[in-house]
Amino acid sequence: MNALGTHVMLELKGCNPQLLDDLSYIKSVMISAADGVGAQILGESFHQFYPQGVTGIVAIAESHLCIHTWPEYGYAAADIFTCGTSIKPQEAAQFIIEQLESQNPSIVELKRGLLPQFVPAR
Amino acid sequence: MNALGTHVMLELKGCNPQLLDDLSYIKSVMISAADGVGAQILGESFHQFYPQGVTGIVAIAESHLCIHTWPEYGYAAADIFTCGTSIKPQEAAQFIIEQLESQNPSIVELKRGLLPQFVPAR
């Protein structure tokens, strides 16, 4: 059975706390992650929290990328949802892991939209 | 061990296809879902695809809500990420299920940020 999309969950422990609290850096990483895998960016919303932390969401034609950071724990939760087969969310995930300098990342990959009536284009 | 957040994945099969292709309706449902559980909306980005389909992402102070619809399959993929304990993502999930008239919904709940050093406030 084929899936409409792939949803990758990133548990990013052991990150560089300074990077996690830098709104412009986090935004740059997420936009570059989308661009780097050829995604078409449709919109975004990034926010700095006080005393610390950043939230960022990016809408792409192929679905989304999101991140939420807890600098106080050196931790970030990210997820990347892509539909179709042209975009490789795992590559965007690897880029985010490297850019946040995560020393202890975990990835869980979920298939979304397992539909018997869906037949992917060749 | 306590988690920083809860991430709820909604597989929404058997939805009303007309609702899934209605940008203003989908936006209203997602904003209402966030409002209804007391989330603080920080930003959003919604997009209509052609010939069909809608993508919507909502940044909230407590993390995010996202949805991607495939009217041609009567299917939508949604996810709700909330941190802290004041917001109940399951209630937002139930609201979305009802509003999209899903006849065959599935929910998977993931704990995010299981950190030994995190001690939640009482």
Min Cα–Cα distance to chain B from A44, Å: 7
Low-confidence ranges of chain A (pLDDT < 70): 1, 122
Which residues span the domain enclosing A96?
Answer: 5-112
What ipTM is given for this predicted complex?
0.95
Phi, psi of A52 (to 5 degrees): -165, 160
The reply to whether A122 falls in a domain is: no
The reply to whether B76 falls in a domain is: yes
The reply to whether B117 falls in a domain is: no
Nearest Cα residue in chain A from B48:
A61
What's the pLDDT at B117? 82
Q: What is the pLDDT along chain B (122 residues), one digit of tens a residue?
A: 689 999 999 999 999 999 999 999 999 999 999 999 999 999 999 999 999 999 999 999 999 999 999 999 999 999 999 999 899 999 999 999 999 999 999 999 999 999 988 877 75
Question: Does the active-site annotation cover A63?
Answer: yes
Spatial distance between the Cα atoms of B13 and A113, rounded to a whole number of angstroms: 8
Q: In three state form, how does the secondary structure of B46-98 look?
A: EEECCCCCEEEEEEECCEEEEEEEEHHHCEEEEEEEEECCCCCHHHHHHHHHH
Spatial distance between the Cα atoms of A10 and B121, rounded to a whole number of angstroms: 25
Going by C-alpha positions, the residue among A36, A14, A24 that lies closest to residue A94 is A36
Q: Number of folded domains in chain A?
A: 1
Per CB-CB distance under 8 Å, the chain A contacts of B7 are 9, 77, 79
The crossing angle, in degrees rounded to 10, of helices A23-36 and A89-99 is: 150
User: Which of B20, B27, B40, B45 is the best mutation test for A, with the most CBs of A within 10 A?
Assistant: B45
The DSSP element (H or E) to which B3 belongs, if any, is strand B3-13
Task: Identify residue A7 by its one-letter amino acid code.
Answer: H
Q: Is the minimum CB–CB distance between A49 and chain B shorter than 8 Å?
A: yes
What's the pLDDT at A16? 98
Going by C-alpha positions, the residue among A44, A8, A12, A49 that lies closest to residue A28 is A44
Token pair of A81 as six digits:
């949802």
What's the pLDDT at A87? 94
The reply to whether A117 falls in a domain is: no
**Option in A9, A47, A112 nearest B42 (CB):** A47
pLDDT digit string, tens, across residues A109-120: 999 999 988 877
Question: Does the active-site annotation cover A15?
Answer: no
The reply to whether A68 falls in a domain is: yes
What's the pLDDT at B5? 97
The reply to whether A96 falls in a domain is: yes
Query: What CATH number is attached to the domain comprising B25?
Result: 3.60.90.10
User: Which of A7, A111, A112 is the best mutation test for B, with the most CBs of B within 10 A?
Assistant: A112
